[in-house]
Structure 1
Amino acid sequence: MMRGRVAYAGAIHEAYPDANGVRLADGRVRREDEVVWLAPIEVGTIFALGLNYAEHAKELQFNKQEEPLVFLKGPGTVIGHRGVTRRPADVTFMHYECELAVVIGQTAKNVKRDNAMQHVAGYMIANDYAIRDYLENYYRPNLRVKNRDGGTVLGPWFVDAADVEDVTQLELRTFVNGTRQQHGNTRDLVTGIPALIEYLSSFMTLAPGDVILTGTPEGIVNVNAGDEVVCEIDGLGRLVNTIACDADFNRA
């Protein structure tokens, strides 16, 4: 089942896909642009993987690390479908990252990879923006690169794990102003989902609602204010986001 969360008429509603837009839990149908989209779930800790597709690592001239490159993201980074992400005026290279987001459904501690998928509740699309100007090095993605307010778009739907036939064979695509710029497949993950859960749960406890962003494939380009960025993953939907300038956020 696909389900999301939206704000409409002063309340937060569970929502579902509809041919005419979005169907609220009470049966009302509204256009996508009539509601404010939230992240489909109440997000816990966000674990983000860097350079987890071999061709993307090669694209950035990065040598494979011995352990997964993981960093944490704060809750203020998250916005929903059709949200707006700010591009600071002083940057020269800001790019999208289409990623499969894995949602933990039950507590995981010292989980072995053979049992890891039992702890997955479902999946979402993520678009996790990065500003390369602020990057110190790939081993230590700093706060200004990856913890910016509104820099992580999640949605539009949460899809139950049971409804995704083969999570290791999902196509990912990113379009900028209608032109496809990024294309990949989850079969090319350097460290797969079971191994990631095994690794993370070996030294910390994963809780329901925690989210693992599994990395992005090759094909990143700079985006500018006014650009529309659309991320698609097979079976998970179409995540739309717009880039805005400082002035749109009342920042000089």
Structure 2
Amino acid sequence: MPEYRRILLDGAVVEVVREGDELLAGDGRLVKADEARHLPPVVPSKIVAVHLNHRSRVEEFGIDLAPTPTYFHKPTSSLNSHKGAIVRPEGCKWLNYEGEVAIVIGRTARNISPARAGDHIAGYTVANDYGLHDFRDTDAGSMLRVKGSDTLCPLGPGLVTDWDFHGKYLRTYVNGEVVQDGSTDEMEWDMHYLVADIARTITLYPGDVLLSGTPANSRPVRPGDVVEVEVEGLGRLTNHIVTGPTPVRDDVGAQPTESEEVLSTALGGDWEFRGIRPPRRG
């Protein structure tokens, strides 16, 4: 399966093709993949994410899945890359990983059927849909700051074409330990359905990204942690968590909170009613 990446090479943005452990540029230059400075593999005009899709995640929260998917938007300013730093703002504590598969549009899509959606998909990449849950109860359901803050949408390492999304494992690791272990087969709505659903009213352009949902066990991480998301056939996306250099301004807007909603979401359910104490986080 061909894999395409975007890297910064000698000060220029260059598209490369992965050949084993090396990346080949169009002019013949070769770069070791582990030494390359990666960029997001695509430049989308929009990033759309589904709220709940994996059955294990729905069961974890003990809720009924809606009959049709619902979505939220992540601004393109949240984009990040393989090996990029994920910034947890000073004064915030509840930053969660969410390993996912990202769908990348290849042809303009508008008012298409699920049966035709595959013709409009360029390929797939790995994503981590980080959530800054300190703002969970202040954005009236939009999750703009929760999911859209800077650095919270790493993609990569590359765009893989001709990938069959059926029966593929998805695993997230924190400091080498498996913390999420799911499969694309537990998705209620597959990749083609999601593309066709959004494209009913929103035109999708080449490069646009749809995030397809995360399995159970999204939990908080803290500065110093290394988080990796591995999807079978797509590779492994690696990022590390850092603390922002300044606190969130307190002279405007809602401030980070630790409400019941914040804690129950960050810790995977209504911990207070399950007799589970929230862990101490730095």
Q: TM-score, normalised by structure 1?
A: 0.90
* Residue range with higher mean Cα deviation, 103-112 or 13-22: 13-22
- Distance apart, 1:101 and its partner CA: 0.6
Q: Which residue of 2 is the match for residue 189 of structure 1?
A: 187
| Paired residues for 1:1-252 under 5 Å | 1-32=2-33, 34-136=35-137, 140-160=141-161, 162=162, 164=163, 166-246=164-244, 250-252=245-247
The alpha carbon displacement at 1:169 in A equals: 1.4
Q: Secondary structure at the match of 1:82?
A: coil
- CA distance in structure 2 between the partners assigned to 1:25 and 1:127 by the alignment: 29
Alpha-carbon separation, structure 1, partners of 2:68 and 2:203: 18
| d(CA) in 1 for partners of 2:136, 2:80 | 22
CA contact (8 A) 1:78 1:150 kept: yes
For the residue of structure 2 that corresponds to 1:187, the secondary structure is helix
Contact 1:95 1:131 in 2 (8 A): yes
Greater shift after overlay, 11-20 or 226-235? 11-20
Cα distance in 1 for residues equivalent to 2:246 and 2:27 = 39
Structure 1 residues 58 and 137: alpha-carbon distance in aligned structure 2, compared to 1, 3 A threshold = farther
Question: 3-state SS of the aligned residue for 2:246?
Answer: coil
Cross-structure match for 2:280: none
Extract unaligned runs of 5+ from structure 2: 248-282
Amino acid corresponding to residue 219 of structure 1 in structure 2: N
Paired residues of 1:111 and 1:201 also in contact (CA < 8 A): yes
How many angstroms does 1:50 deviate by? Answer: 1.1
- Distance in 1 (CA, whole Å) between partners of 2:21 and 2:191 is 34
In the TM superposition, residue 33 of structure 1 has moved relative to its aligned partner by 5.4
SS of the aligned residue for 1:153 comes to: strand
Which is further off, 217-226 or 12-21? 12-21
Q: Secondary structure at the match of 1:145?
A: helix
Aligned residue identity for 1:215: G
Change (3 A) 1:59 1:89: farther
Task: Sort the Cα spacing of 1:20 and 1:101 in 2 relative to 1 into closer, same or farther, 3 A.
Answer: closer
Matched residue SS, 1:168: coil
- Residues 44-99 of structure 1, C-alpha deviation per residue, up to 9 Å, x if partnerless? 21111111112112223443123312011111100111000111232332111111
Paired amino acid for 2:53: N
1:45/1:73 contact within 8 Å kept: yes
> What fraction of aligned residue pairs are identical, expressed as a percent?
35
Whole-Å Cα distance in 2 between the matches of residues 207 and 12 of structure 1? Answer: 21
Question: Which is worse superposed, 226-235 or 129-138?
Answer: 129-138
Q: Distance in 1 between matches of 2:246 and 2:127?
A: 26
State the alpha-carbon separation in 2 of the partners of residues 93 and 59 from structure 1.
18
Give SS of 1:251's match: strand
1:16 shift after superposition: 2.8
Report which stretch shifted further, 53-62 or 222-231. 53-62
Conserved 8 A contact 1:69-1:139: no
Deviation at 1:18, TM superposition (A): 4.4
Q: SS of 1:124's equivalent? A: strand
Measured on the aligned residues, the alpha-carbon RMSD in Å equals: 1.9
**C-alpha contact 2:73 2:144 (8 A) present in aligned 1:** no
Structure 2: distance between partners of 1:188 and 1:217: 8
- Structure 1: runs of 5 or more not aligned: none
Larger radius of gyration: 2
Deviation at 1:206, TM superposition (A): 1.6
Q: Equivalent residue of 2:220, what SS?
A: coil
Aligned length: 246
